Amino acid sequence: MKIPPRSDMLRPEIICIDDLEKENTGISIFADFGTENGSTEVTFNIQDFEVKEKSIRNLCQELQEDIQDYKNEIDDLAAKIANRENILQNKTQLRIMKVKLRGKETELTNIKFKNECDDQY
């Protein structure tokens, strides 16, 4: 396919489009573009465009499936993180408190735990 440089073009117009021609390879359109230096014939093979379009569609679909897989993985991880946070919030947490009794620092041995779901001690 020979296309003249931009400076050689004189208002490119399609002078003629030959009849659609069915070939073994698909449908081709032949177009003549008028230029200062004569005409330039350009051939478009529609089947090539269809094949490229299909391969691009397939690639886009594969990418969308990959993106959906990644989103699902992220959602699973987010659910696991949220579940762990809930477990930590609802879990009775052991805190060893040190208090001063009669001037001495002592660890409490009889500890009552507070459950986050229950406001009672």
* Strand partners for 14: 33
3-state secondary structure of 39: strand
More confident residue, 44 or 58: 58
3-state secondary structure of 17: strand
Residue 34 confidence (pLDDT) above 80: no
Of all residues in the chain, the percent with pLDDT exceeding 90 is 0
Residues 6+ apart with CB under 8 A from 117: 90
Report, in angstroms and rounded to the nearest whole number, the Rg of the chain calculated over CA atoms. Answer: 38
More confident residue, 101 or 82: 82
- How far, in Å, CA of 47 to CA of 22, rounded? 10
The arithmetic mean of pLDDT across residues 21-43, rounded, is: 54
Q: Where along the chain do its domains lie?
A: 6-89
Q: Which pLDDT belongs to residue 66?
A: 87
Q: Which pLDDT belongs to residue 31?
A: 55
Whole-number average pLDDT of the chain: 61
Q: Which pLDDT belongs to residue 29?
A: 55
Take residue 88 and report the two structure tokens written for it.
């930590």
